[in-house]
A and B are shown apart, each in its own frame.
Chain A
């Protein structure tokens, strides 16, 4: 509330194209929702983010597991992983678009690239929580490789892994928006780009607020998944 109050106060000193008032932004938000395209843009970005997370996680989880189980592999691959992470996604996005076109695939790929690293790193950290004695116990119990994974490794890694997935989710939204910045005709990133070009600051605020709502929704969704999964394990 204090932030909105400060915003309202400052908006009195600047023209609307620099800083629109909270009231005008809310009015614009309602108008855009009523018109329809805003929800379509939201759906596009949400879809790209979720698909990006899905692709990133489906690559990062087995990759992180293998790295955690093999010191040799981790030593061999880690430098390249860190180097790849050091290249800003904004710089890679145009290349991805040249290679994969302007459609959904390029945005999903950018989102998955950004989501990959935190999920992979947290998978490794989670797996490292399993102690030698716990592995020894499972061997004494006669557990199979699958049982060791399902009954020991996964539950032990889960709290850290879920944090990684939550971070990956937030990062995949950023990746999707970056992809839309680079080249797109739809999505919230596109809306921010277009509104900036038209100096329509109120619309830009609407797009940013919608992005924030999207981020919070994903966060709450993950909290729910965490709660349900922790109950099961």
Chain B
């Protein structure tokens, strides 16, 4: 396993505020795959495989959720796809690019918002554009305002991270991931630190945003409920070694709202994901902190899959 180095790209002179790699990614959007992983294997120790022979294809505009117990390598897979970690074997491409992280044209949201505390929300969102030095400072801010508007935080643009709630910080991080017009959004448990009731609303808002922008999205989550509500497809992983053990197609309409979550199809998808996890033993051996859950929602979903110790 190797960590890839940093590089700086010289950006083109097109109208969009993208790095060159992202422009290539956008140009390639017409091709069949947004994310293509083949035989991805990662070993931190050289003995034990964190990820073993992962094959995963995600089509443009598709949202995929990755679920599985702690330690099954979900976040590692996300880092490989982002180009932050080079696999020991196999390839991981985003719109045909396997270059440096900035060449892949991705947006990344971590579990923690990772905002820069000395910058206000607007400056945080504008930072990727300012680093690219392609747009003027005024244009960077204009794009940042638009991104903040998309996540409903325009009126909080001048606030510093310390003045924002946990949910607001994550939405600022989301706006920052979207500001460069990334077409693939990688989210590593983006709402894990947010209380359950707000999470449902954020899931719903993120889904709407993804549909509106035709985003390709890969979300890592510990919640079956969240996975089903924000995806077209749920990919289930197991540990020792980290591998894909199954996937469930989510048969829900594009226009989703809180009521969708109480539908029979939603319940069925949750149950299928739960069954795969049970078959692999994830639910039997998972620890409660990182429980796979499909909790009852406000709207009355009746699927339960709490972890058993």
B128 / chain A contacts, CB cutoff of 8 Å? 140-141
Mark A128-155 against chain B: 1 for CB-CB distance below 8 A, else 0.
Answer: 0001011011111111110110011001
Mark B1-19 against chain A: 1 for CB-CB distance below 8 A, else 0.
Answer: 0001011110000000001
Which range contains the number of A residues in contact with the other chain? 20 to 34
Q: Does A233 contact B (CB under 8 A)?
A: yes
A148 / chain B contacts, CB cutoff of 8 Å? 6
Tell me whether B8 and A140 are in contact (CB under 8 A).
no
Tell me whether B101 and A143 are in contact (CB under 8 A).
no
Mark A70-105 against chain B: 1 for CB-CB distance below 8 A, else 0.
Answer: 000000000000000000000000000000000000
Mark B101-120 against chain A: 1 for CB-CB distance below 8 A, else 0.
Answer: 11100111010101010100
> What number of B residues sit within 8 Å (CB to CB) of A?
25
Q: For the complex, give the distance between the alpha carbons of A152 and B107 in Å.
A: 18
Q: For the complex, give the distance between the alpha carbons of A143 and B7 in Å.
A: 7
Q: Does B269 contact A (CB under 8 A)?
A: no
Within 8 A of A (CB), among B54-94: 79, 82, 84
Tell me whether A142 and B132 are in contact (CB under 8 A).
yes
Within 8 A of A (CB), among B1-60: 4, 6-9, 19
Q: For the complex, give the distance between the alpha carbons of A123 and B7 in Å.
A: 25
Tell me whether A140 and B131 are in contact (CB under 8 A).
no
Tell me which of A131, A141, A147, A152 has the highest count of chain B C-beta atoms within 10 A of its own C-beta: A141
Pick from A134, A142, A144, A230: contact of B114, CB under 8 Å: A134
Tell me whether B110 and A141 are in contact (CB under 8 A).
no
Tell me whether A133 and B112 are in contact (CB under 8 A).
yes
Q: For the complex, give the distance between the alpha carbons of A229 and B100 in Å.
A: 33
Mark A148-188 against chain B: 1 for CB-CB distance below 8 A, else 0.
Answer: 10011001100000000000000000000000000000000
A142 / chain B contacts, CB cutoff of 8 Å? 7-9, 19, 100-103, 131-132
Tell me whether B127 and A141 are in contact (CB under 8 A).
yes
Tell me whether B6 and A140 are in contact (CB under 8 A).
no
B106 / chain A contacts, CB cutoff of 8 Å? 140
Shortest distance from the beta carbon of B207 to any chain A beta carbon, whole Å: 23
Within 8 A of B (CB), among A188-233: 230, 233
Tell me whether A140 and B101 are in contact (CB under 8 A).
yes
Tell me whether B127 and A131 are in contact (CB under 8 A).
no
Q: For the complex, give the distance between the alpha carbons of A174 and B110 in Å.
A: 47
Tell me whether B84 and A143 are in contact (CB under 8 A).
no
Tell me whether A140 and B116 are in contact (CB under 8 A).
no
B132 / chain A contacts, CB cutoff of 8 Å? 141-142
Tell me whether B100 and A139 are in contact (CB under 8 A).
yes
Tell me whether B102 and A139 are in contact (CB under 8 A).
yes
Shortest distance from the beta carbon of B45 to any chain A beta carbon, whole Å: 18
- Which residue on A lies nearest to B133, using beta carbons? A147
Shortest distance from the beta carbon of A71 to any chain B beta carbon, whole Å: 14
Tell me whether A155 and B108 are in contact (CB under 8 A).
no
- Which residue on A lies nearest to B82, using beta carbons? A140
B110 / chain A contacts, CB cutoff of 8 Å? 133, 136-137
Beyond the given pairs A133-B112, A136-B79, 13 more chain A to chain B contacts, judged by CB atoms under 8 angstroms and listed by A's residue number, are A136-B84, A136-B108, A138-B6, A138-B131, A140-B106, A142-B8, A142-B19, A142-B100, A142-B102, A142-B132, A143-B6, A147-B8, A147-B131
- Can you show 13 pairs from A to B with CB atoms below 8 A apart? A136-B108, A137-B114, A139-B4, A139-B101, A140-B82, A140-B108, A140-B128, A141-B128, A142-B7, A143-B131, A144-B6, A151-B127, A230-B118
Binding site for B on A (CB under 8 A): 131, 133-134, 136-145, 147-148, 151-152, 155-156, 230, 233
